[in-house]
Structure 1
Amino acid sequence: MLLALSATVLKAQSDIDALLAAGVDDAQRFANDYLAPGTNGLMHSMNANWFNTADAKPLGGFEISVVVNAAQVKNDSKMFNLNTADYNNVQFVQGPSSQMVSTVLGENNPIIFVELEYEDPIFGNQTEQIELPDGIGSENINLLPTAFIQGALGLSKGIELKARFVPKIDTDEVSLSMFGAGLQVEFTKWLPADKLLPVAISGLVAYTSLDGSYDLSGSSTVSGENQRVESDVNTWLFQLIASTKLPVINFYGGLGYIQGTSESDLLGTYRVTNGVLTSQDIVDPFSVKSEISSVRGTLGFKLKLGFFRLNGEYHLSEFNAYSLGINFGFR
């Protein structure tokens, strides 16, 4: 899905490039509103299934997991209000000056065209029409999946270290890598009679980072050199967890807080031209940034079958998320 979302961004980026004819400020404003819901949903998906119990592993206990997450796309994240009064040189071809248009998660149905106005040094005032980009909604996709390989290692006194990563993905257009690290501490391990308690309570702090690069040289409608988008996504998760302590099946839940930032830079040289007579080079046009700060509730279960375990969970937050984990380990 990361590759699918990246391909959609690549397709849409061609039209964002075309907006440079209206000026960097207009292109940046549109790109920020268009991309932010996608990166915000991705940050919620990245933070699912950091834990499957509050019961920390003993010294030397370990677990290896394959985790698949999916954040739900809500209807209000599929569209945003584009008011041309906020733009310098953009007007709708048809309809009012303020309209709902697709984000990277939505679809324009029917197609929406805008008219760009710019000043040419030779020909004077010029206009150009472009079609606003759709998002993944045009493919009937309503989930933002992520997947990880994750490991956990128990230390003494209720402390557990965690790490997750995605092996680096390289294609002709897209390069992606992701990693994360976490520390879980079980507070009930510090109590004298912890082995007699029917529940465990712990706290978790986790950091996740994603780096992506998108080569636009084959998809941009604007001539130039070394055209690309580079994205950097970083999140923190702070979570309080409680779980049962039963032999075969257990239930867990918690209350957490997610904080994260995503920054995407449009880099390279973009040559806005009018035929062969005039051109303007724009180098490294702009950066766009989005942030999340959200409380999250979690409910889940974990089934133990020897060294094999299966867990599933649901998160309620700004972007609700599902997760499934297949776990192998020893404690």
Structure 2
Amino acid sequence: MKGLCTLVLSCSFSVVFAQADFNDVFAAGVEDAEKFATDYTAPLSESVVYNFATGWYNTADAKPLGGFEISLVGNITGFKNKEDKRTFLLDPNDYENLDFVENPGVARNVSSALGDISGVEVFVEGQVAGFNVREEFELPSGLSGEGIDFVPSGYLQASVGLIKGTEIKARFLPKLEYEGAKVGLLGFGLQHDFTKLLPADKLLPVAISAVIGYTAVNGDYDFSDADLIEGEDQRIEAKINTWAFNAVVSTRLPVINFYGGLGYVTGKSTMDVLGTYVVTRGPFSSETYVDPFSITKKVNGVTGNIGAKLKLGFFRINADYTLGEFNTFNFGLNFGFR
């Protein structure tokens, strides 16, 4: 189980962080590079926050004292039909040095880290020792350009029942490495079943709960491969924090049950661009930038989901679909008692 979870999560981050390989843009100067990187990575950060805010419950019926469940959870957040997240408008008038080779000075949509627009040529131009110097390069594409229209994740999760309808949860994965990407996560949750407070709760056909979950993800990716930029220790360190607040209702049948919830997601993604960046060509040649900038994206929104859970003794399977700014399919393989 751990091997499968390792593969899912670490592969996803190696692909996701690889799309942030925007260091050629430092050839336009650090201010332009920061502006481009902020707009380029924003949809990716948002999708990751929504991804990790899901998967906290598969029923509203809290476990009794001593009851437990251990789960392998997987999430797939799709963006295939979200054109507004796959692109962003780049207006050269908002940049100090960056402009398009074709139709310079005219704003156009370019690929975000989720997109698939390739072949967009830009240039920087300026005076060096009295001579006009011009350098052209291509803007990066995104995940869709690699044939990937979703952001996946996976982790281990455990739940234990306490007294009076209260259940505590934890999700965990140690920091793992795969093809230049390292990632780990830790999260804690709390569920309270209000129907357990009623004297005839076992006779009710449904359970109603509140669920709160917090997830902290830490990852980094080495992206030192670029044509125009030299240096050392070039990498992104990412910190993603999410809070999920949910009201959940579910049926209370022996074998198969259905559940649904309304929630609110809030979170923040911080990407620190670290290392030394030395521009080798163009008007900014020989400029050196050390730990140049940090990108922060705050996210919040309303979600709703519906799902089903099949219980076969100690073994349970669940799947649900969450609607929000980014939609997420969640599935779980669960082993539990009571």
Q: TM-score under structure 1 normalisation? A: 0.93
Contact 1:21-1:118 within 8 A present in 2 as well: no
Aligned length: 327
What residue number does 1:272 align with? 279
Question: Is the aligned partner of 1:75 residue 2:83?
Answer: yes
Listed one character per residue, the Cα deviations across residues 28-51 of structure 1 (whole Å, up to 9, x for unaligned) are: 111111111112111111122210
Which one of 153, 156, 167 corresponds to residue 160 of structure 2? 153
Contact 1:19-1:26 within 8 A present in 2 as well: yes
Contact 2:88-2:112 within 8 A present in 1 as well: yes
Q: CA deviation at 1:148?
A: 1.1
Alignment map for 1:206-217 (pairs within 5 Å): 206-217=213-224
Residue 62 of structure 1 aligns to which amino acid in structure 2?
A: F
Supply the distance in 1 between the matched residues of 2:20 and 2:214 (Cα, whole angstroms). 29
Contact 1:153-1:162 within 8 A present in 2 as well: yes
Contact 1:185-1:202 within 8 A present in 2 as well: yes
After the TM superposition, list the runs of 4 or more consecutive aligned residues in structure 1 that deviate by more than 3 angstroms.
1-14, 217-221
Supply the distance in 1 between the matched residues of 2:127 and 2:13 (Cα, whole angstroms). 33
In structure 1, stretches of 5+ residues that fail to align are none
- RMSD, aligned α-carbons: 2.0
Question: Is the aligned partner of 1:98 residue 2:92?
Answer: no
Supply the distance in 2 between the matched residues of 1:211 and 1:145 (Cα, whole angstroms). 16
Which one of 304, 316, 320 corresponds to residue 311 of structure 2? 304
Contact 1:5-1:136 within 8 A present in 2 as well: no
Alignment map for 1:230-309 (pairs within 5 Å): 230-274=237-281, 279-309=286-316
Residue 205 of structure 1 aligns to which amino acid in structure 2?
A: I
Change (3 A) 1:295 1:12: closer
Listed one character per residue, the Cα deviations across residues 133-174 of structure 1 (whole Å, up to 9, x for unaligned) are: 011111221111111111000000111000112232124622
In structure 2, stretches of 5+ residues that fail to align are 1-7
Which one of 129, 140, 153 corresponds to residue 136 of structure 2? 129
What residue number does 1:66 align with? 72
Percent identity, aligned pairs only, is: 47
Secondary structure of the residue aligned to 1:296 is strand
Which one of 74, 77, 92 corresponds to residue 84 of structure 1? 92
Q: CA deviation at 1:118?
A: 4.3
Question: Is the aligned partner of 1:56 residue 2:62?
Answer: yes
Secondary structure of the residue aligned to 1:304 is strand
Which one of 160, 168, 175 corresponds to residue 168 of structure 1? 175
Residue 87 of structure 2 aligns to which amino acid in structure 1?
A: M
Residue 259 of structure 2 aligns to which amino acid in structure 1?
A: Y
